[in-house]
Amino acid sequence: MSGTATAGTTIYDVARAAGVSIKTVSRVINGAKNVRPATAESVQNAIEALEYRPNAAARNLKAGLTDTIGVVVDRLQDPFFAEIVSVAESRAVAVGMDVLVAATGTDTHRARAQLSRLVNRGVAGLLITPFGVDDPVWQGIPRDRPVVLMDRRSGVEGVDLVCVDDEGASRTAIEHLISYGHQRIAFLGEPAKYSTVHNRLAGYLAALDAAGLSPDPALISRTCANADDALAVLTPMLDARRAPTAVFASTPLIAPGVVRLLMRSGRRDIALVVFGDFPMADLTTPPTTVIDQCPSSLAHAAMDRLLARVSDNDIVASDIVLPTRLIPRGSGELAPPRAARVRGRAQPRTGTRESSGTK
């Protein structure tokens, strides 16, 4: 009647218009091979003339699954997750599927409820960014349909995981700082809730160790859940006698806190590398050096896998590890003041990569 897609048209209307049975219409809709071309064409014409769109619910009722995938993330406002949802949506729409979003707020109960709601809705597949190390909720991940986990390890076995090499990338970042002469590097991370932070700390320690530097517990914080926490933790750290000359923010969530502190206190001499690119990172003073984990690539890889499984779920589960890249923008390439270098406990090895940039 209006421009709205015709609502009341059913498969019966099409069958009548085309002079065939509803089964034949069904075959045409589903692209069955065994339909006479002429028949298929007249059915197709009827479908278009009547603007027929198969009822998703009825379809679902028989199949048990909808042409819908569920995407479960921490927070939809977080640029990292927003990018993932965006890619999931465009990829899904491209193959005629819809995306149902669910935010957990990293709350176990909410995650459980969201998961069961999505399953109940008959999603054909799930893209999940789990939180928590061995959080029991992920043991409840449905096994009867395609699932792809992203970004973080959850302790669940036998399910695809698409992620980056957190340890290796962090190690690279720290080696980068060391190559510029830094020996006192602060590590700021979130609470132990995430495997990623654990691995990033491991990379940090490995880089120090490889350079013959011993870690200073006073420079390591794993209590920064957000920007404010980072600001609170870093403030006394910078005022301490053995202050860091560089900061490694192991997640972009806390980056604003660090940048804010450095800007406000006028400490433009503190080097900074952030794990994860963030909007406006190039507009800070100096521009912020980051490890780009390429959320878009992660999401595409995850959707490749998920859509492949929607077609055929008999694939062996595997871990897909994607590369990251260090983007030097300035803040991570600041050399420490001479005094700090002299005070250092050990000399960093020479010849580290990126060392050509060392003063």
Partner DNA sequence: CTGAAAGCGCTTACAG
Which spans of this chain sit near a copy of itself (rule: CB under 8 A)?
Answer: 2-5, 7, 53-58, 60-61, 66, 68, 75-77, 79, 82-83, 85-86, 89-90, 93, 98-103, 113-122, 136-137, 139-144, 256, 259-260, 263, 278-280, 282-285
Shortest CB 36 distance to DNA, Å:
3
- Which of a copy of itself, DNA, none has residue 278 at its interface (CB below 5 to 8 Å by kind)? a copy of itself
Element at 306 (helix H, strand E) = helix 295-311
CA torsion, points 133, 125, 74, 98, in degrees to nearest 10? 170
Interior/surface letters 55-89, b for 16+ CB within 10 angstroms, e for the rest:
eeeeebeeeebbbbbbbbbbeeebebbebbbebbb
Strands (E), 41-182: 68-73, 98-103, 125-128, 147-150, 160-164
| 39 part of the interface to DNA, by CB under 7 A | yes
Indicate the residue among 85 and 178 with the shorter CB distance to a copy of itself. 85
Indicate the residue among 66 and 179 with the shorter CB distance to DNA. 66
| 8 part of the interface to DNA, by CB under 7 A | yes
| 23 part of the interface to DNA, by CB under 7 A | yes
| 68 part of the interface to DNA, by CB under 7 A | no
Interface segment toward DNA; rule CB under 7 A; list 50-58, 106-114, 143-151, 197-205: 50-58
Structure tokens at 243: 């202050």
| 95 part of the interface to DNA, by CB under 7 A | no
Torsion sign over Cα 39, 42, 45, 50: negative
- Which of DNA, a copy of itself, none has residue 103 at its interface (CB below 5 to 8 Å by kind)? a copy of itself
CA distance 152 to 132: 9
- Which of a copy of itself, DNA, none has residue 256 at its interface (CB below 5 to 8 Å by kind)? a copy of itself
Indicate the residue among 142 and 215 with the shorter CB distance to a copy of itself. 142
Other CB atoms within 10 Å distance of the CB of residue 154: 23
Residue whose pair of structure tokens reads 């290796």 in the numeric block? 168
Decide if 176 contacts 329 (C-beta within 8 A).
Answer: no
CA distance 253 to 169: 17
Shortest CB 317 distance to DNA, Å:
25
Decide if 129 contacts 81 (C-beta within 8 A).
Answer: yes
| 235 part of the interface to DNA, by CB under 7 A | no
- Distance, CA of 142 to chain centre: 20
Indicate the residue among 24 and 179 with the shorter CB distance to DNA. 24
Shortest CB 44 distance to DNA, Å:
12
- Which of a copy of itself, DNA, none has residue 347 at its interface (CB below 5 to 8 Å by kind)? none
- Which of DNA, a copy of itself, none has residue 154 at its interface (CB below 5 to 8 Å by kind)? none
CA distance 316 to 164: 20
Structure tokens at 314: 């008999």
| 24 part of the interface to DNA, by CB under 7 A | yes
Shortest CB 179 distance to a copy of itself, Å:
27
Largest CA distance in the chain: 90
Indicate the residue among 98 and 304 with the shorter CB distance to a copy of itself. 98
Interface ranges with DNA (CB under 7 A) = 8-12, 20-24, 26-27, 29-30, 33-36, 38-40, 52, 54-55, 58-59, 61-63
